[in-house]
Structure 1
Amino acid sequence: LIEAARSQGVAALAIRNSYNCGALGYHTERIAQAGLVGLGFTNAPASIAPWGGRKAAVGTNPLSLAVPDGQGGARFVIDQSASVVAKSEVIKRARAGEPIPPGWAFDASGETTTDAGEALKGTMAPAGGYKGVGTALLVEIFAACLTGANPGLVASPFSGTAGGPPGTGQFFLAVSPEATSGGAFAGNLETVAGAFIGEARLPGTRRFGARESNAQGIEVAAETLATLEKLAGIAA
């Protein structure tokens, strides 16, 4: 993808028969580190209902944008889902028996709930109301329809083995700034990014800071470590 974008100005990579790709921003950041603007989409099993509906139709469907800093790194990285919060956060709260904040999800009857277990029986709340549903649809078109991957409606869950492999997809775009901006990219980028300096922060800043602080190690809950050790034993 990177080589093609450098030679052609813009290139696309379509992936199907896939699975949860982890942090989508990890992949777009690699594109930015190559001096290109990276845009990524990945779909997921359906968990967001159409605005006003109760039955899930599209997944939390993250999208990511990574912009190069001209020095082999990323000026900023946006990595956000179409839902108010990633579904993994609700799953984590459900396993711990903890409540979720109001507005994160709906129960099976379409009512707002703070019960993580009930939320997993219902649907995730789209970010920004109906606009979040539009974002999820945008991602579904790129990550599923354009790739030939399974739409969220027919993809099996990421958790567990029920239904077999999810077969979801990813779609990445890489764009060479030199090919499209007439040499104005760097200056315009700093004009835009400059508005976030000071009291505000650019998207991904917290991620970069955490990466540095976590280099010395991270704390892992005892139950999580026990689960990982059990899985490692099964794999061995």
Structure 2
Amino acid sequence: MTGAAADTVRLTLDEVHALCADTLTGAGLGAAHAQAIARSITRAQVDECHSHSLYRLIGYVGSVRSGKAERHALPTLTRVTPAVLRVDAHRTFAPLAIETGVPALIEAAKTYGIAALAIRDCYHFSALWADIEPAAEAGLAAWCFTIGQSCVAPAGGTQPLLGTNPIAFGWPGPEGRPFLFDFATSAAARGEIELKRRAGEPIPPGWAVGPDGAPTTDPAQALAGALLPFGGHKGSALSMMVELIAGPLIGDLTSRQSMAVENGDGGPPLGGELFIAIDPAVFGAESLASRLADADELFALARQQPGVRLPSERRYAARERNREGVTLRAKLVAELRALSAPA
């Protein structure tokens, strides 16, 4: 289990899953939630999505122990209309709510051509690409949006107002590998900055300003100040769109409102998540194969250009590379195992 380098540890995927699940149940979280979170974290770790992988376990445990998140309540699914679904998470973590709602979303989109799913009142810490990948694998085009802690200034400002407010899109790509992208509307995800802080590394210019409103490359100052939107007014406008459709539209909190009820335990923010899924067959089943082939041609032409890497290709390569296990920093593994000690 120990890697070649003294500062690394090799874990199988079963060991990663067990580390997560056992730590969470040991902290008092219900088994169903612990297993769902373990699946989410393991998936992110395998795909080398480090901003949402094992280090997130620290925040989950913090929220369990602080009492912020409900430990045992189970999410409930409601069909508002045949094609509009709602999952009430009852202030539990998002992964089990997502696993509850997404299969119903896929069924509704396949039946009616288009469907929407609102997940409300949940603590969300997972990567959106993983949330919508099952829908894209089922042959659907899918979008997903969620808010976050108020840590991003609108374009031209220096005070936190918006969340990192990610957007994800999935398309049923060739060879069973969907075209997926998932990115924050801030210049960098908050998790990326937290990882830089933990590693003692600077962040690039243009990512954030400090508490005084001046540009900074210090991740600690960035977290104390405000992150910046990508692309200036473009990222800012997209972020506000996410605020509206993952907040007031579905009856949940804005990022500012979410931040107001935070308790500082380092865990995920309270909020909502909106999914939209469309079955391409609804626009003509007889021409579906041709239209999907046109999309595949677009991907192939892009790949022909030197230097082009399509979104999700890096994750798929990591997934293949890590099928037998992952190599982790020994310091992180020791930190995570210490979470199992009595609080």
Task: Output the TM-score relative to the length of structure 2.
Answer: 0.63
What CA deviation, in whole Å up to 9, does each residue of 1:130-184 have, x standing for no partner?
A: 111111111111211222221100113889538x973211100111001125535
Q: Does residue 120 of structure 1 match 2:196? A: no
Alignment of 1:71-220 (within 5 A): 73-156=176-259, 160-161=264-265, 166-180=269-283, 183=288, 184-198=290-304, 199=306, 200-220=308-328
Alignment of 1:49-64 (within 5 A): 49-64=153-168
Higher normalized contact order (CA 8 Å, seq sep 6+, divided by chain length): 1
Number of aligned residues? 233
**How far apart in 1 are the matches of 2:292 and 2:155?**
39
CA-based RMSD: 2.2
Judged with a 3 Å threshold, the aligned counterparts in structure 2 of structure 1 residues 105 and 95 are, in CA distance, closer, same or farther, namely: same
**How far apart in 2 are the matches of 1:189 and 1:222?**
43
- Structure 1 unaligned blocks of 5 or more: none
What CA deviation, in whole Å up to 9, does each residue of 1:52-103 have, x standing for no partner?
A: 11111110011111100365x3331011110111111111222232211212
- Pairwise CA distance, 1:126: 1.0
Would the aligned equivalents of 2:123 and 2:270 in 1 still touch at CA under 8 Å?
yes
Range 139-148 or range 126-135, more displaced = 139-148
**How far apart in 2 are the matches of 1:126 and 1:68?**
29
**How far apart in 2 are the matches of 1:70 and 1:179?**
20
Judged with a 3 Å threshold, the aligned counterparts in structure 2 of structure 1 residues 158 and 88 are, in CA distance, closer, same or farther, namely: farther
More helix by share: 2
- Structure 2 unaligned blocks of 5 or more: 1-104
Judged with a 3 Å threshold, the aligned counterparts in structure 2 of structure 1 residues 10 and 158 are, in CA distance, closer, same or farther, namely: farther
**How far apart in 2 are the matches of 1:51 and 1:24?**
24
**How far apart in 1 are the matches of 2:322 and 2:293?**
33
**How far apart in 1 are the matches of 2:170 and 2:274?**
14
Would the aligned equivalents of 2:124 and 2:270 in 1 still touch at CA under 8 Å?
no
What residue number does 2:114 align with?
10
Would the aligned equivalents of 2:174 and 2:296 in 1 still touch at CA under 8 Å?
no
Judged with a 3 Å threshold, the aligned counterparts in structure 2 of structure 1 residues 70 and 219 are, in CA distance, closer, same or farther, namely: closer
Sequence identity, in percent? 38
**How far apart in 1 are the matches of 2:152 and 2:165?**
9
Range 211-220 or range 201-210, more displaced = 211-220
